[in-house]
């Protein structure tokens, strides 16, 4: 019997309904769902009563991890305010992720499935954006992306 909170088990069931039978599962760490060939993870943030929906972004090839951080930070500045989306880059773990943190209650409705779908769809665009921003080892830094923050 799983020790997971009921909310994750129910969420995985709802995902099966939306994204196809067998598309979602859960383990001790959280739930996960396959959407169009991509895995979106769902992890509880217990202390904050929130949930994180996230997916890993493929690292641009032949480029140092620092070469696209500026673009990642610019993306977050725009999209965090608009949609609550953020790109995280962890050099030590060699990890790039796209995610959003939502209130735990929000996991119970249809809206949560839309948010999962949006992460999967957006991840494709983010991967392409970072690939474009990345420069090969040894190449000069590109001109910075414009970041519009204040309206």
Partner 1 sequence: MSDSQSRFAEFIKACTKVLELPDPTIGGDNYLFQVGDRWVELKRNERGDLVNFLSAIYLAPPDGELRDDLIASFNTHYLFNGGFSLVADPENGRIYLGRTHRLAALDARDIRRELLAFAGTASMAGTWYMRNEDETTAPPSAPPRENPGSFLKV
6-45 footprint of partner 1 as x/- string (CB under 8 A): -------------------------------------x-x
Tokens of 135: 């420069």
- Cβ atoms within 10 Å of 61's Cβ, excluding its own: 8
Among 21, 82, 137, 141, binds partner 1 (CB under 8 A): 82
50 in contact with partner 1 (CB under 8 A)? yes
Among 10, 13, 80, 125, binds partner 1 (CB under 8 A): 80
> Among 50, 110, 90, which residue's Cα sits nearest to residue 118?
110
Q: Is 88 in the site for partner 1 (CB under 8 A)?
A: yes
Contact between 2 and partner 1 by CB under 8 A: the answer reads: no
Place of tokens 């890993």: 56
* Contact yes or no for 69/50 (Cβ under 8 A): no
The reply on whether position 101 binds partner 1 by CB under 8 A is yes
Residues in the chain: 151
């Amino acid at each position: 019997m799983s020790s997971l909170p009921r909310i994750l088990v129910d969420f995985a069931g709802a995902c099966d309904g939306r994204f196809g039978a067998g598309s979602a599962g859960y383990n001790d760490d959280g739930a996960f769902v396959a959407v169009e060939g991509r895995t979106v993870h769902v992890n509880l943030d217990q202390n904050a009563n929130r949930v994180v929906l996230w997916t890993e972004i493929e690292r641009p090839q032949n480029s140092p991890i620092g070469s696209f951080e500026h673009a990642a930070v610019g993306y977050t500045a725009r999209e965090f305010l608009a949609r609550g989306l953020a790109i995280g880059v962890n050099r030590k773990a060699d990890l790039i992720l796209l995610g959003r943190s939502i209130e735990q209650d929000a996991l119970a409705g249809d809206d949560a499935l839309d948010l999962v779908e949006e992460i999967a769809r957006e991840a494709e665009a983010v991967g392409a954006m970072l690939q474009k921003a990345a420069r090969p080892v040894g190449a000069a830094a590109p001109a910075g992306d414009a970041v519009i923050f204040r309206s």
